Structure 1
Amino acid sequence: MKNLQRNLSARHIRFLALGSAIGTGLFYGSASAIQMAGPAVILAYILGGAAVYMVMRALGEMAVREPVSGSFGRYASEYLGPLAGFLTGWTYILEMIIVCLADVTAFGIYMGFWFPEVPQWVWVLGIVMLICGLNLCNVKVFGELEFWLALVKILAIAAMIIGGILILFLGVKMNGEHTPGLTNLWAHGGFLPHGAGGLIASLAVVMFAYGGIEIIGITGGEAKNPEQVIPRAINAVPARILLFYVLTMTVLMAIFPWTGIGGQGSPFVQIFSGLGIQSAAAILNLIVISAAISAINSNIFGAGRMMFGMAEQGHAPRLFATTSRHGVPWVTVLAMAAALLGGVVLNYLIPEQVFVIIASIATFATVWVWLMILLSQVAMRRRLSAEEVRALKFKVPMWPVGPALAIAFMLFVIGVLGYVEDTRVALYIGAGWVALLSLAWYLRGKPRESRMLTRESSAS
């Protein structure tokens, strides 16, 4: 059995995070967020992006100080206690599985653009088999592939923003009816058409869209020169994602009235179809398909590495720590493939409702993980001496106000899940998940942790 190999460069890690966070949430899920908040969804993306940046800085402070596989699962164990680490690691794995289910579902919907007669579940099965095969490759090959997949969608978003701005200046009419212009941001019921309630309700979808960016912390165990690579990646990625989301939403709703952006496929494809450019719509559909593949690819990587770290701590079956001759934890990849086959079943049984249900559950898991990252960083700071704090190489900004505001925001989003009727089921399932994990910990995990700590003490 070999250890994980440090073959991921700064370029790989930056694009891995972009690949994980810029995917279904932007290309498909943004439609439902727009319907909830109208043009005010732009504010939701700004608020969510600021909170996520604080999460990333908190994670970066810990990851630069101690770059390990399993990352924030280990930090939660060390600074909040073994139970917190157990809950955080397995909830992140749930997050990645659920987000992957959303992405494979969206992939099936995208393929319906060209092949409406083919059942959705067929495409889902095919993509699960393909991506899991890719994840069995050497991590350097995986990182290079993810770089190019992510680059395609980033260039596509940039082209869409530039093209959208040109359309605004030229005043091309959509479907011969609507004239693009910034006035579309307030001309159809106002900037806040559903009031503050609509803005708050959209936070559930918006935070789902940002989910996955924390994968930067997972790469610590396989990054070259983590003390240099991780800070550069963290400082670059959140600002770029915020820029992409805010600019994209602004251009999207200026080109086309928000009232006409629905949930039938990607709103990006809908825009170009509305312009009557069918070939452009087909090209853009190919791009959003590559974006979904990229997100699935990086999320399977993140879940697999977390399982590997959990297995090393005794929080998961030891078999998950088994690696191939290329240093790839292949058992975790196969475990993810088995979990994603559940997406095939869901897409067979309820192809219409599956995305909204999956996205709301993923939001709970995502926000829970971010909350644990923030709390772990606060606990770490309180444990360090003044000299150790001064020695930190990548400190959280605005300490302690920044982390405190981010923690309050995460708790607020969890409350929103319970307040909004459509997402309330996610809070129930999330609470049940945490309760079930806690029970599993006390029945099985706690004794194992005690035995592991005993072995470590005797070894030292």
Structure 2
Amino acid sequence: MSNQNLSESVEQDGLHRSLSNRHLQLIAIGGAIGTGLFMGSGKTISLAGPSILFIYMMIGLMVFFVMRALGELLLSNLNYKSFIDLSTDLIGPWAGYFVGWTYWLCWVTIGIADLSAIIYYLEFFNGGESFGAAEGLLISTVAILFVLGLNLVTVKLFGEMEFWFAMVKITAIIVLIAVGLWMIFTGFTNNLGTTASVSNLWTHGGLFPKGLDGFLAGFQIAIFAFVGVELVGTTAAETQDPKRNLPKAINSIPIRIIIFYVLALFVVMCVTPWDQINPKVSPFVNIFSQAGIASAAIIMNLVVLSSVMSSMNSGVFSTSRMLFGLSVDRQAPKLFGKLSKSAVPAKALIFSSICIFIGAFVQFVYKLKTGTNDEVTAFTLATTLSTILFICVWMIIMWSYINYRKNRPGLHAQSTFKLPGGIATCWVVIVFFLATIYFLALDETTLEALKVSPIWFVVLIIGYFFAKKK
């Protein structure tokens, strides 16, 4: 079947190929620059010190391999709309059910975490005072309705919003790197009396100041910073000319990781030594505040807020496409497979938004009962759970690739976008992610989320049993 016919078969399902190369490239960048980088990097630096640079490079390499495997699989059959289809085809219906519903929960959980982040960063404009539980719930409601409204219009509007959200993030990080380098070259002294210098990386306890334990503890939030990079895989059915555009988006991931993660945090820790960075304040905001540039700190807070809104925008989009795919495969209620006049799965969008709101409401009730407003702890718990689930999805993608190599050697031979290292690379990635799950058990906060995660797998097993029986 020709590429044109394959493309038309996707159009017949109702999804339109409205995302251009410009949209796809920026969606990929937006996915690679997540809330975890802006909000979570302060805590990660406090846990691991300068060794966080090695953590980001290691995780970035593994995620790149996942994306290369996903890219080869999606391009081997343009009828694949997302990784639900390819895992169902290459492993079995249970794998599609597992991946679809787990990925859906991943983004619902991230949506709840993003609401905590939105409230946390808006407190900057509230004079640093914490919002009450009722105020937090109101902010959450407005944010959910705003993102839902964007996604209900057209997929092209989603792509356009992600394009500009990503542009804001890219510009902010480039400016931060430029300002940081200027501080280093001019020997800028911050308000704590520390002079900006590359030597700050090793003169405060060395590159591994907290030893192996600190290094391993840094993995949780660091790996969360990368979730969303696979979003490109959920846009496959709505991307123009995927044979050309998907490889371009995936191959640029390593450069983005080096620039937006490694170089940015390198500059941050050169300007402010790792042991002087407040884990509860974004180092991206802090670097301007320390320089005494108040207006720049305000702008940076707005940038971080736009990053969180971008994450929520992507999340609601992803969850609706997962529910749509599951419904088409008869593994979710039929109503989620119905499209609006704008060719978007409106009912799936609304359902996912309601679930995110329920999560926000549970947080509201919890805060009322306990009298606490610790948004950072709530963010950490939610992100840990989503990280565990994302790792499971990534490993299913690698498993799908192993089966693809074994059962479809002809398609692999024809591929012009092969995974470097093939099956051997898959096993290295799977072992790495299994080790990462073990690392999460080393911290009390992340261990709590790790203990809760098996409940979801039990729910999935029961759900799949009834779906199969039905």
TM range (shorter): over 0.9
1:88 paired with 2:99, answer yes
CA contact (8 A) 1:28 1:106 kept: yes
Question: 1:409-448 maps to which residues of 2 (within 5 A)?
Answer: 409-442=432-465, 444-448=466-470
Question: 1:22-421 maps to which residues of 2 (within 5 A)?
Answer: 22-68=33-79, 70-115=81-126, 116=129, 118-119=131-132, 120-348=136-364, 349-350=366-367, 351-352=373-374, 353-385=377-409, 387-421=410-444
TM-score by length of 2: 0.91
68 and 430 in structure 1: CA distance in 2 versus 1, 3 angstrom threshold: farther
SS, match of residue 341 in structure 1: helix
- Distance across 1 between alignment mates of 2:130 and 2:427: 51
- The answer for the alignment partner of 2:9 in structure 1 is none
CA contact (8 A) 2:224 2:387 kept: yes
303 and 180 in structure 1: CA distance in 2 versus 1, 3 angstrom threshold: same
Q: Which runs of 5+ in 1 are unaligned?
A: 449-460
- Distance across 2 between alignment mates of 1:69 and 1:301: 18
Between the two proteins, the alignment pairs up a number of residues equal to: 446
36-45 or 181-190: bigger deviation: 181-190
- Amino acid of the residue matched to residue 94 of structure 2? L
CA contact (8 A) 1:70 1:308 kept: no
Shift of 1:418: 2.6
Q: Give identity over the alignment, percent.
A: 36
CA contact (8 A) 1:70 1:307 kept: no
CA contact (8 A) 1:20 1:296 kept: no
Shift of 1:424: 1.3
Q: Tell me the alpha carbon deviations over residues 232-251 of structure 1, each in whole angstroms, 9 at most, x when there is no partner.
A: 11112343134310111111
Shift of 1:347: 4.4
- Distance across 2 between alignment mates of 1:14 and 1:163: 26
TM-score by length of 1: 0.93
- Distance across 1 between alignment mates of 2:468 and 2:103: 19
144-153 or 349-358: bigger deviation: 349-358
CA contact (8 A) 2:53 2:265 kept: yes
CA contact (8 A) 1:15 1:151 kept: yes
- Distance across 1 between alignment mates of 2:388 and 2:119: 24
Q: Which runs of 5+ in 2 are unaligned?
A: 1-11, 368-372
- Amino acid of the residue matched to residue 18 of structure 1? I
- The answer for the alignment partner of 1:20 in structure 2 is 31
- Amino acid of the residue matched to residue 435 of structure 1? V
Say what the alpha-carbon RMSD is for the aligned residues. 1.7
CA contact (8 A) 2:64 2:253 kept: no
Shift of 1:176: 4.9
Which runs of 4 or more aligned residues in structure 1 lie more than 6 Å from their structure 2 counterparts after TM superposition?
none
SS, match of residue 153 in structure 2: coil
241 and 11 in structure 1: CA distance in 2 versus 1, 3 angstrom threshold: farther
Shift of 1:130: 0.5
107 and 265 in structure 1: CA distance in 2 versus 1, 3 angstrom threshold: farther
- Distance across 2 between alignment mates of 1:69 and 1:388: 14
CA contact (8 A) 2:43 2:280 kept: no
- The answer for the alignment partner of 1:3 in structure 2 is 14
Q: Tell me the alpha carbon deviations over residues 375-396 of structure 1, each in whole angstroms, 9 at most, x when there is no partner.
A: 11111111013x3321123111
CA contact (8 A) 1:171 1:180 kept: yes
409-418 or 12-21: bigger deviation: 12-21
